[in-house]
Amino acid sequence: MILQRENIPNINQISTELSRIIGDDRSNEIRQFFTYYQQCQAGANEIGTKLDNLDSEFQMRDNHNPIHHMETRMKAPQSLVRKLAKKGYDFNFNAIKDNIFDIAGIRVITNYLNDIDTVEQALTQQTDITVIKRKDYITNPKPSGYRSLHLVVSVPVFRTDGPVDTPVEIQLRTVGMDMWASLEHKLRYKTKVDSAKIEKYGDQLKQYSGELNHIETQMQAIFEDLQEN
Ligand code: GTP
Ligand code: MG
């Protein structure tokens, strides 16, 4: 099951918004960009289909779905411009292609911890997939307590003039990790409290991440025991 995390802005909206941010005189660059934007979206569709197909195969073979659900999102133009600026670039098509790999993102929420490894292996061993970047925040959680496996993969998208390799960011996490990350994000960014106030709960939030991990490890052990019987 793939959920769209938010409405994907249509090309006209993006174009209008980008013209407003970077100026009308850059329309050529904007056109080039949204051709790429659409390509990235197609890349996420390709990955989503691959994962869906793998999940069905596991269900048939093992009577177990590794994937609980998936969410896709396209980076909003303002957040793209902000990220470029943070990295020291103006809005520039080449800077985007060379530095921004998460225009299209897909989040894969798995049922159990081991499912993350299962899904990663099954996807990345496919001959048309290349892993560009891999960050394992499960083996090495972030100081905040954040856990997930982040991959950027390249997948060919077949366009009218042939195949083009396209980057897609994939975040793999369990339901427990997803619950923690969603709520922590809301607490950190969405509450109106000042940041010093939330910081005092930092240790507590980190501890909860560890506790959830402990619970998920034990629930996986129960699952494995039941599978054997
Ligand atoms: P960027 O170029 O900024 O994407 O760098 P990066 O990909 O190296 O960043 P990172 O690996 O830190 O991943 C960024 C994404 O991970 C964010 O958009 C969040 O979705 C998620 N993330 C990272 N750290 C945290 C955290 O402490 N809390 C929560 N809730 N999410 C986090
Ligand atoms: Mg990122």
What is the mean pLDDT of the segment spanning 205-228?
96
Query: Which of 66, 4, 84, 75 has its CA nearest to residue 220?
Result: 66
Whether 20 has a pLDDT exceeding 90, the answer reads: no
| More confident of the two residues 32 and 175 | 175
Query: Which of 162, 175, 168, 181 has its CA nearest to residue 216?
Result: 175
The H-or-E segment that residue 59 falls in is: helix 27-62
Highest mean pLDDT among 8-12, 27-31, 93-97, 205-209: 205-209
Q: What range does the domain containing 100 cover? A: 2-173
Ligand 1 centre from 137 Cα, in Å?
A: 10
Number of domains making up the chain: 1
Report if residue 204 sits inside a domain. no
Identify the three-state secondary structure at position 190. helix
- Mean of the per-residue pLDDT values of the chain: 91
Ligand 1 centre from 228 Cα, in Å?
A: 37
Q: Could you tell me the CATH number of the domain that includes residue 155? A: 3.30.460.10
Report if residue 137 sits inside a domain. yes
Report if residue 181 sits inside a domain. no
What is the mean pLDDT of the segment spanning 156-180?
97
Report if residue 113 sits inside a domain. yes
User: Residue 145 is encoded by which pair of tokens?
Assistant: 């307590």
Report if residue 186 sits inside a domain. no
Report if residue 192 sits inside a domain. no
pLDDT tier, 192 (very low <50, low <70, confident <90, very high otherwise): low
- Region of poorest pLDDT, from 96-105, 167-176, 186-195: 186-195
Query: Which of 67, 65, 46 has its CA nearest to residue 109?
Result: 67
Q: Are 98 and 36 in contact (CB under 8 A)?
A: no
Ligand 1 pocket mutation pick from 80, 144, 209 by most atoms within 8 angstroms of CB: 144
pTM for this entry? 0.91
The residue whose CA is least distant from atom 14 of ligand 1 is 150
State which ligand 1 atom lies nearest to the alpha carbon of 169.
7
Report if residue 158 sits inside a domain. yes
Ligand 2 centre from 171 Cα, in Å?
A: 9
Ligand 1 pocket mutation pick from 142, 149, 170, 183 by most atoms within 8 angstroms of CB: 142
Segment 111-140, tens digit of pLDDT: 999 999 999 999 999 999 999 999 999 999
State which ligand 1 atom lies nearest to the alpha carbon of 182.
30
Segment 67-105, tens digit of pLDDT: 999 999 999 988 998 999 999 998 888 999 999 999 999
What is the mean pLDDT of the segment spanning 53-63?
96
Residue 129 burial by Cβ neighbours in a 10 Å radius (0-12, 13-18, 19+): middle
**Residue 131 CA to chain centroid, in angstroms?**
14
Residue 69 burial by Cβ neighbours in a 10 Å radius (0-12, 13-18, 19+): middle
Q: What is the ipTM of this complex?
A: 0.94
Ligand 2 centre from 151 Cα, in Å?
A: 9
Whether 226 has a pLDDT exceeding 80, the answer reads: yes
Ligand 1 pocket mutation pick from 134, 146, 151 by most atoms within 8 angstroms of CB: 146
State which ligand 1 atom lies nearest to the alpha carbon of 145.
27
Report if residue 56 sits inside a domain. yes
